[in-house]
Amino acid sequence: MKILVDITLKIGVLDPQGKAIQHALGALGFAGVDGVRQGKVIELDLTETDRAAAETTARAMCEKLLANTVIENYEIRSA
């Protein structure tokens, strides 16, 4: 089963990479971009066939390794 994990910085955490992207978009002529927050997507291909069990496993992975829960949020979804 494929599981996708979306990881983003929590609101209030500075995002210098997002600011750099926003600046670059403006330099390329894309007007009206008031803000950019960047994140990452991790795709997991698990042998688990039960969706609930796969999501539980992915949540444990996020809590232990994939996300820094002090400054990041994560969302788990099936692919």
Q: Note the pLDDT tens digit of each residue in 10-22.
A: 999 999 999 999 9
Please report which confidence band the pLDDT of residue 79 belongs to, taking 50, 70 and 90 as the band edges. confident
Tokens 């069990």 sit on residue: 53
pTM listed for this prediction: 0.88
Query: Each residue of 31-54: pLDDT tens digit?
Result: 999 999 999 999 999 999 999 999
Task: Tell me the CB-side half-sphere exposure of residue 11, using CA atoms within 13 A.
Answer: 0
In the chain, the amino acid numbered 55 is E
In order of their start, the domains of the chain are: 2-78 (3.30.1280.10)
